[in-house]
Structures are given as structure tokens and as C-alpha cells.
Amino acid sequence: MALDLTDFIADLPKVELHVHHVGSASPQTVARLAERHAGKTSVPADPALLAEYFTFTDFPHFIEVYLSVVDLIRDAEDVATLTYDIGAGLAAQAVRYAEVTLSPYSSIERGIPAEAYCEAVEDARRRAARDHGIELRWCFDIPGPPWERAADTTLEIALKHRPEGLISFGLGGPEAGVSRARFAGHFAAARAAGLHSVPHAGESTGPQSIWEAVRDLGAERIGHGIAAAQDPELMAYLAEHDIALEVCPTSNVCTRSVPSLAEHPLPALVAAGVPVTINSDDPPMFSTTLDREYQVAADLLGLDEHGVAELSRQAVRHSFLDAPGKAALLAEIDTYATHRQP
């Protein structure tokens, strides 16, 4: 490779639009929490054993392992520590702004009061901005079954305890057999309250879930959405309406949603004009980072420094950062890319 993209990517100002809260816990944090809750969890307390523990056989197995880590977050102090560490870790990768997906329902069900949870993430958000210069925002996500209770509780927390950093409403968990349209009422209420719609769809199922997310949930971006590559009409629709996909290549391989990076549909999506952003999803669980995902995308798409910088700009444009913030960050990317030109 003629250009040293590793160094270029490392210092390139970036945004992260699809990264999960608990899924971003470092191996050291996970091991420390597992030791604290020894005898009450299947998660190993030895960081060296976590790589094997985080080897997934399929998407349902990934969900099972993910929830076992969720269960390690037992109090508001755990929430604040985890959140601050996420901000610090992202800032170390030159991430200036991140929209982090939180699943407050999971913590509330484990006994953390909603008010304490929201105060914890806000405290961490302010400290991360002060100490590391990173702006964090929140997407409150419906995490999975029991679907109705999880959806009702997530919406209630979003509307009644709305933290200052909350900007969007999401839907995660298993996709198979779970119609996106099932949550139309919840998303309508969230959107009426001024929250953006960013459901997961088309990760482990087909294009139909993406159509439902767009038509029934008013999706402004799609979490993953890689199944769109199977439907030319859908790709044309996403391109025409400028609905971006939050693509997480390594995640898709680790959860067996695609067989290998070589077979990832990212090139087909880009060739069809679908706007994409590059993201890390649950980076420690997938032994990746946002920097590495940019390198993976560059390899898949055959990009040089100019192309990689444009990936970063596209993520900024499809973020929910305010207009002055977008303008400032785009200018910073331009300055950086120009300065780095050979």
C-alpha cells in the first residue's frame, strides 16, 4: 500500500454513530466487573479468556453473550464508570462526536432507578467533554424481549427522565420474527417528542425489515442495514431519500451475518449510491476499533486518503450534531486532509 493509511486514520477527526454502551466495555472493565460478581455470572474474570468467550457461533449466541455482560452492570457507579471510559477510549481515536446506543431498560430491570441511570450517563458525558474534548449523545434503544415491556419502559424513560444528551430512539435485539412495525406507536411518540428514529434492521434478516423500519418507524438512519444489498429497489430508495446505513463490517462477520469480510456487501451498497457510515458496534467483543473499521472499509472499497476522509465527512453529515458543530468538524477534517496530502 503506497499510502500509510494506518497513521492517516489514527489522527483523522471522526464521529462514531453506531456503538453500544455495554458492548464497548473494555476487557479490563469486563474482567473487573466479572470478578466483583464472581459466582453470579458466566463471564470469565480473566481478560485472557475473554477472546474465547467473545467468539460467537451465530447471532442468537452473540445476543446471549452480550446480555451476560449487560448483567455485570449492577449500580449507577458502574454505569458512570463504563460511560466515561467509553468517551475516553473514543477520544483516543480522534473521535470528536459519538452517538452511543444505551439500553436503559436492561439496567432498570436489574434495580438501577431510572433517574440515577440518567444522572450517571450525564455526569460521565460532561466529564468526558471536559477531560477529553469529546461530545457524547445518546440513543435510547429497545433491547429485546420481553418486547412490549421493554418498549414501554424505554419510551417512558425517554419521555419522563429525558437526559440532556438524548437525541434519538432505537430498536435492537433479535430481528428474526420481530416485525419492525410492531413498534410503530413507540417510535411515533418518540418522534413527536423530537427524537430521531434510528432502528436496527437488515442485519441478520432480509430487506423487508429495512422497508418496515423506513415506512413504519420513520427511520432517518438504519442500524446495519446490510441486507439492503439484496434489493435493488430498496437501495435506490435509500439513495434517493438520503437514508444512511450504519455499517459495522467486522461485527457482521463476528455475528455470522456475513460469511467473511471478502463477501461483505459494503462495496455493492456504495456502488448503488447508498450513503454509508463506518462504525464499530461492540468493539472489544469483536476485537476491533473504529480506526480498524475505517481500514477495513478502505480495503473493501479501494480507498486512498481522500476517500477515507470522505467517509469521515459522510458520517458527520448524517450525524445528529447541530449545524454549527457539523460545520466546525467538517472544516477540521478538511484542514487535516489538506495538511496530510503528499
Known catalytic residues are 203
- What are the DSSP calls for 239-293, one per residue? HHTT-EEEE-HHHHHHTTSSS-GGG-SHHHHHHTT--EEE--BSGGGGT--HHHH
Helices 184-192 and 147-160, interaxial angle, to 10°? 0
- What are the DSSP calls for 155-186, one per residue? HHHHHHS--TTEEEEEE-S--TT--GGGGHHH
Helices 290-301 and 305-317, interaxial angle, to 10°? 120
Among residues 262, 254, 258, 246, the alpha carbon closest in space to that of 296 is found at 262
